[in-house]
Chains A and B, each alone.
Chain A
Amino acid sequence: MSRSRGAAALRVADAVPVFAALADATRLSLLGRLSVDGPLSITRLSEGTGVTRQAVTKHLSALGAAGLVRNSWRGRERVWELDRKRLEKAKWCLDQISAQWDAAAERLRAFVEDD
């Protein structure tokens, strides 16, 4: 248990920019759109949202800086999509603690059943 708790702590620092980027309703809804419909252009992303293209651009930059989205050219259009690898890294926390309890429970089993 101790080894993975240590590893988890080391990764907290890495995760902070990700959570800072996620701590915004507009950015989360952009991620939601990209998850369902992506890749999408800024024009498409701002349609029907009440958020200006400029604001969408700014939020995408924040998400991009945290490594959560990336952009590429599709023909003459720049499109944005989720960077799923980075998202997966952000999920360490409870999975890790859960795995630690699995390991601890197995050590407890060995401890009480081997008597």
Chain B
Amino acid sequence: MHGISAEILPGEIVAIIGPNGAGKTTLLNTVSGLCDVRSGTIRFKGEDIAGLRPDKVVARGISHCPEGRRIFQRLTVEENLVASYVAGRKRPFAELVEQAYRMFPVLGERRKAQANRFSGGQQQMLAVARALMAQPDLLLLDEPSLGLAPKLVSQILEIVLTLADSGMSIVLVEQNVDAALEISDYAYVLENGRCVLEGPSDKLLADPRLREAYLPQV
């Protein structure tokens, strides 16, 4: 990444788009502490969090749902959720688990099943559910629609909208560019580690240059 500046407001959905290798995942990794920052600052609620350990970042209220799911394969659904609960934050464990099973009924039906027995798409649902167990104020979603059936993609996006309406800020990295722009407020377009374009999502959606590069030709 070369000198990227971006911001996200409370309750805002920000989309990060761009080709593979543009630095989208790296950007999320620097925020969540999975990746070192060479220069610059990352401020969250007024404090510099650049270089904080990942667990400290979670404790500040940032959850990261990483690319490739990264769930605990040997644990059950329920154990995955337990392991990701951060005690001492607002809501009790039972309530959060209920919410997770309401969002993704298949997780509730198979709560005692080991995660590695799940299909790829079901593991993706678990990864999203797990990220929410820490009750974040800022949720980083790295390609949540990857490997999901079209119907579930709509469901995930609907969930993202609901979470934002409740005041959560959401950074959405998506290859599904038209969907990402439709539900987000603002978007940054990365190419080769640089931010080449930014603006309100609906304006970008109508922008010919962006349409040409990223959206299917109709």
Q: Is B truly associated with A?
A: no
